A and B are shown apart, each in its own frame.
Chain A
Amino acid sequence: MQESLNAIVSRAAAELPKVGSRPEFEAAKARYVGPNGELTAVMKTMGAVPKEQRPAMGRLVNEAKAGLQALLDEALRRIEGAELAARLGPPVDPTLPPPDAGPGTYHPITLVREEMCRILHKVGFSVTDGPEVETEFFCFDALNTPPEHPARDPQDTFYFPASARLGNVPKKVEGERYLLRTHTSSVQVRTMLKGPPPIRIVSPGRAYRRDTTDATHSAGFHQLECLYVDRGVTVRDLKALLDYIFASLLGPGTKTRFRPHYFGYTEPSFEVDLSARHLPKVNKEWIEIGGCGMVDPAVFAAVGYDPEAWTGYAFGMGLERLAMLLYAVDDIRYFYQNDLRFLRQFA
């Protein structure tokens, strides 16, 4: 009996490593340990073994059984491994480029706009939006721009015919004309008309001026304007905001300065200069970057705020100009041509 058991195990040890597929394996398994298998047959002869030899024989049978099981497990592991390996193709060449176009890219104007919005978000500004086709009231009248002001001249501003009807931009004043907004300040007017102060908003968006397109000008461009209206807002607060914005954008060493200037909707008004010599292609100590000032009382009057009770500041800048400065781009037209070789540089 011992010989039979040894013979079975050694046959299995010779055969099982050669079994290559699952059906072969199942057949072999049945042959050795199945109900009609060889081991089962040997076990059936146990009855004929003398009683005193049975424990020793039992031990031998169990050893054979365990040996067979180990051989079977090993074979199964090998077959399963081969099956998984068969699912794989040849190994990849990781140095080949992906055949898909991409990755996608954000436009540099978007990148600059979003960065500014994030910076302003941190100090409590929320982002507003408004129509690009505006009426004279929102673009000029409410911003203290008298009817004969040169900025309103058809030489400088795009108008629509008197017959033009905008379904979702109602006129505020009867008979006023529709135009393409010359600045995003119109959004400030709309926001102020919607509700009482305090207001702390930033309005980025397109603006339009009737201008020749050249390396630094475009008829359509992007602006970003901030407005803060509250009690006791001061010039010093405005300067603090500008210092904060540009230190956040360009590093703590960045300085800003105010130069007095004139805008109809702010008083006093300033132009903002930036000192950022560490930027590439900057060869001047001070670069003009935007305009700002304290909201003119006439603007508050136009939107029904009490100029005695409320004060505020406004700041505006061109996003193209900022992008040109940050990325050292020297022609504004690249922003609208969207040459892929340009767009890919900012991702």
Chain B
Amino acid sequence: MKLSLNWLREYAALDAPVEEINRAITFLGFEVEGTQVTGAPRLDGVVVGEVLERGKHPNADKLSVCQVDVGPAGGVKTIVCGAQNYKVGDRVPVALPGAVLPGNFTIRQSKIRGQLSDGMMCSGREMGVGDDHEGLMILAGRPGLGLPINSVLPPGDTVFDVEITPNRPDCLSHLGMARELAAWFRKPLRYPQVRFAGHPAGAAPAAHALLASVRVDAPEDCPLYIAHAIAGVRIGPSPEWMQERLRAVGLRPVNNVVDVGNYVMLEYGQPLHAFDAAKLGGSRIVVRRAAAGERIVTLDGREHALTGGMLVIADESRPVVVAGIMGGVNSGVEAGTTDLVLECAVFNPLSIRRTSRSLGLASDSSYRYERGVDSEAAGEAARRAVDLILETAGGSVVGPVHRVGSDTPVRREIVLPTGFVERRLGFAIPEPEMRRALGALELDISRESAAPGGGAEWTVSIPSWRGDLDRPIDLVEEILRLHGTDKIPPSTVVAPGLPGEDDPVVRFNRAATAYLVGHDFHECVTTTLRSARETATWVSETAAQELAVSNPFADDQSHLRPTLVMGLLETLRLNQSRGVAVSRLCETGRIFIERNGHNFECAASAFLIAEDASRTWRRREAPDFYTVKHHVEALAAAAGVNLSREALLPAQGPYFGWQAGHSAVVGDMAHGWTARFGLLNLGMVRALGISGTVHAGIFAILPEKLLGGPARRRYSDFSLYPAALRDLALVVDASTPAGQVRDAVLKAGRAAPAGAFVLESVGIFDVYQGANLPEGRKSLAFSLVFRASDRTLTDDEVNAAFGRLQEDLARNTAFQIRK
């Protein structure tokens, strides 16, 4: 809201410098977004002078050499001047040597084309007053010679653009902010003098034909409606002082009646509306809900179709105002208007807000109603407006004051034990200061008693405009505000021992990111909300539906991400398009996985490895499926999942972003975790405009599965005797997964020593397909390590066990032992 300092000074003697007032507003709890100074700045050394002579400059056609009298400020000066708009005898501003004009322009005695000039006569613009630079500023009214120019020019104004927090609608007015500033600067607050008093109770005049009655059909949305009928006004411009104030705060003056409405709104925070009585159909006003299908053209020229819930002010047949928001052109005050109905009402904030939102129609009035107006001030604001209309437009109030509804909200009182303030603040504010702060804000202490635990207890009555004050803590804030939040005494942080361990998700994120960054990945942060098209690349249509937000802001940010890989691919594409060589990217964050119509929010960590396009002097072996498998195993380990123990099969379709036959999946949401890794679909990658192949991996886990962490491990004994090694090659179907064959070898190998010793490990050291093998077959070579816990094994016993192992495989599997 824009607040004029001159206007604020109407209610409180704010004589502090502008910077201090600015600071006061800030520390009262309102953000000053801008300060605009109008009028003349301080111009030391610029005085009133009179042109005594004007002669031609000997060396320049367009210049004159003048004799200028500045009286007591320095007598007669010779000044060279280029302006043409003045004559001998004019009084003009004269900047004497040493004066500094706006723009840090210092005036010096100087020679201009060989002619001495002892100062400068000024235009308005040169002094920072307006934009006029057509010529010198000719001063009207022949002000005294030598007077400082600031005493002659009209005083400027300072306009603060202040953000009013939603809890303080009372400060959406000059009076409200003046109350705050008066309290801060310890000045009394002066309310406007309201002369119109309505009619004494019981002596109301009979209804006038201009406005016969007011009926409120929706009292829950309009708790108070006050209407005055004013006859015989003359529409014209409002007085200059009022126009100046309205302009200062950014409003365009319209006419005296409209301007008074705006003026009083900006003074009290209470919106008013005047409409042309002659344009009303009939002489009745009805406050009702719109009928579906009713239409109105508002003063901004837009037509609106109204719906059932919207509150309107209507005459006998049609809506004339969208209540609390904007009047209709069908009842607007214009040049020929003579009779008025002046409305001053209180509306339900929610009703106004809903209507304003659904019509896309807002105004200074609706802004205030949405935040809540002070219902007790409505009557006074209406009478203040009547005063100003009668003063500026003439006319007289006819008939009774129509008043429907109530303006007496429940008076609230808050009981504040004075010790409570210190207990909450952690430092003491002297009692007289607390008392003064409350009083200055008109929070009157109506009763005092002894508090049960010692000290005093104040019963504070809360004025109608402070709907935000409810509890003792609210008063603590008021006292602290006026004390100054910049005066909170310094202290040290008291920190008893760390009460808790970091969340398991936090620890997983840290471990996963540390692993990936440690393996040369660049950590990225990509957006959670993705486009529908992108999402469809990665999940089924049903899953995509579950991921959609109902009110996306932008089309390309409509779905929760089901994988981190999509953001990493976008990052890869961006870097490639900018010619930045990049190969390893990673991200850790939340993703959303659909299962059986439910979305599961998972903690996830993902990475990708793109074909490295950068040319280096030594080529490294290209990463492949097993590179990403290795990293995914490490990510799983960070979550306490041992991936090597899990049944891992080549992925079955649908593959979505992954390449069939070159990617794998393990786990699903039934386990509470899932991992997917391998080559990304070549076609998809190319369609994204990415060059080269991309391998990727992701591990995702339900946060709740991370709880607890793994059980503490127990050490198991290991043998100190030498191992016995045997190699075994098996020829199997090319499509048989190596893991399956290894499992069979392990099983047979565990049984073979018959408990006398153990098969310690089985490694795969060769995978072969090609010459010497039949088509469709492959050879897998295993290295077996046998060991006993209590002795060195003999060749004989190992050979016997190895033999049994081979017999077992020959009998129970289709694998062929390669000799």
Tell whether A314 is near chain B: CB-to-CB under 8 Å. Answer: no
Q: Cβ of B513: which chain A residues have Cβ within 8 Å of it?
A: 106, 110
Closest A residue to B612 by beta carbon equals: A101
- What is the total of A-B residue contacts with beta carbons within 8 Å? 255
Number of A residues near B (Cβ < 8 Å) is 91
- Is B29's CB under 8 angstroms from A260's CB? yes
Given A160-B549, A236-B488, A336-B527: A105 in contact with B582 (beta carbons within 8 A): no
Q: Cβ of A269: which chain B residues have Cβ within 8 Å of it?
A: 477
- Is B551's CB under 8 angstroms from A154's CB? yes
Tell whether B167 is near chain A: CB-to-CB under 8 Å. Answer: yes
Given A200-B499, A267-B474, A340-B580: A294 in contact with B553 (beta carbons within 8 A): no
A225 → chain B closest CB, angstroms: 14
Q: Cβ of A160: which chain B residues have Cβ within 8 Å of it?
A: 548-550
| Binary CB contact string for chain A from 84 to 115 against chain B (1 if under 8 A, 0 otherwise) | 00000000000011011111111101100010
Closest A residue to B571 by beta carbon equals: A338
- Is B528's CB under 8 angstroms from A237's CB? no
User: Quick one: which of A124, A159, A213 contacts B499, CB cutoff 8 A?
Assistant: A124
- Is A167's CB under 8 angstroms from B599's CB? yes
Q: In A223-247, which residues have CB < 8 Å from any B CB?
A: 232, 234-237, 239-241, 243-244
Binds B, one of A9-17, A29-37, A128-136: A128-136
Closest A residue to B588 by beta carbon equals: A110
Tell whether A219 is near chain B: CB-to-CB under 8 Å. Answer: yes
Tell whether A77 is near chain B: CB-to-CB under 8 Å. Answer: no
Given A99-B618, A168-B600, A297-B473: A260 in contact with B517 (beta carbons within 8 A): no
Tell whether A72 is near chain B: CB-to-CB under 8 Å. Answer: no
- Is B27's CB under 8 angstroms from A262's CB? no
CA distance A131 to B506 in the complex (A): 12
CA distance A160 to B425 in the complex (A): 41
User: Quick one: which of B471, B520, B580 contacts A104, CB cutoff 8 A?
Assistant: B520
Number of B residues near A (Cβ < 8 Å) is 102
B482 → chain A closest CB, angstroms: 10
- Is A237's CB under 8 angstroms from B526's CB? no
Q: Cβ of A219: which chain B residues have Cβ within 8 Å of it?
A: 527, 529, 553-554, 557
Given A104-B518, A220-B527, A234-B425: A168 in contact with B499 (beta carbons within 8 A): no
A272 → chain B closest CB, angstroms: 10
Given A104-B516, A104-B584, A240-B493: A159 in contact with B550 (beta carbons within 8 A): yes
Q: Cβ of B474: which chain A residues have Cβ within 8 Å of it?
A: 267
Given A338-B574, A338-B585: A165 in contact with B617 (beta carbons within 8 A): no
Q: In A198-225, which residues have CB < 8 Å from any B CB?
A: 198-201, 206, 208, 210-213, 218-220, 222
Q: Cβ of B702: which chain A residues have Cβ within 8 Å of it?
A: 168
- Is B526's CB under 8 angstroms from A338's CB? yes
By DSSP majority rule, is chain A's interface helix, strand, loop, or mixed?
A: mixed
Tell whether A268 is near chain B: CB-to-CB under 8 Å. Answer: yes
Q: Cβ of B353: which chain A residues have Cβ within 8 Å of it?
A: 148, 150
| Binary CB contact string for chain A from 264 to 289 against chain B (1 if under 8 A, 0 otherwise) | 00011111000000000000000000
Tell whether A261 is near chain B: CB-to-CB under 8 Å. Answer: yes
CA distance A114 to B525 in the complex (A): 15
Closest B residue to A204 by beta carbon equals: B506
Q: Cβ of A25: which chain B residues have Cβ within 8 Å of it?
A: none
- Is A129's CB under 8 angstroms from B506's CB? yes
A194 → chain B closest CB, angstroms: 11
A82 → chain B closest CB, angstroms: 28
Tell whether A123 is near chain B: CB-to-CB under 8 Å. Answer: yes
Closest B residue to A187 by beta carbon equals: B503
CA distance A296 to B500 in the complex (A): 24
- Is A258's CB under 8 angstroms from B493's CB? no
Binds A, one of B378-386, B388-396, B590-598: B590-598
CA distance A88 to B586 in the complex (A): 37
Q: Cβ of B529: which chain A residues have Cβ within 8 Å of it?
A: 158, 208, 219-220
- Is A335's CB under 8 angstroms from B525's CB? yes
User: Quick one: which of B423, B471, B590 contacts A206, CB cutoff 8 A?
Assistant: B590
User: Quick one: which of A105, A155, A167, A239 contacts B517, CB cutoff 8 A?
Assistant: A105
Tell whether A341 is near chain B: CB-to-CB under 8 Å. Answer: yes
The list of the 10 closest CB pairs from A to B, nearest first, reads A234-B426, A236-B426, A260-B29, A102-B520, A268-B477, A167-B598, A262-B165, A126-B500, A104-B517, A240-B491
A sample of 11 more A-B contacts (CB under 8 A), given A124-B499, A126-B503, is A105-B517, A105-B523, A127-B503, A131-B590, A206-B589, A219-B553, A236-B425, A258-B485, A262-B166, A268-B477, A268-B481
Q: Could you list 15 A-B pairs, sorted by A, with CB under 8 Å?
A: A103-B520, A104-B519, A104-B584, A105-B517, A126-B499, A128-B503, A132-B528, A164-B546, A166-B600, A168-B703, A211-B553, A219-B554, A236-B425, A237-B494, A340-B582
List the interface of chain B (C-beta within 8 A of A).
26-29, 31, 165-168, 349-350, 353, 357, 423-427, 471, 473-474, 476-477, 480-481, 485-486, 488-503, 505-506, 510, 513, 516-529, 546, 548-554, 557, 560, 571, 574-575, 578, 580-586, 589-590, 592, 595, 597-601, 612, 614, 616-620, 669, 702-704
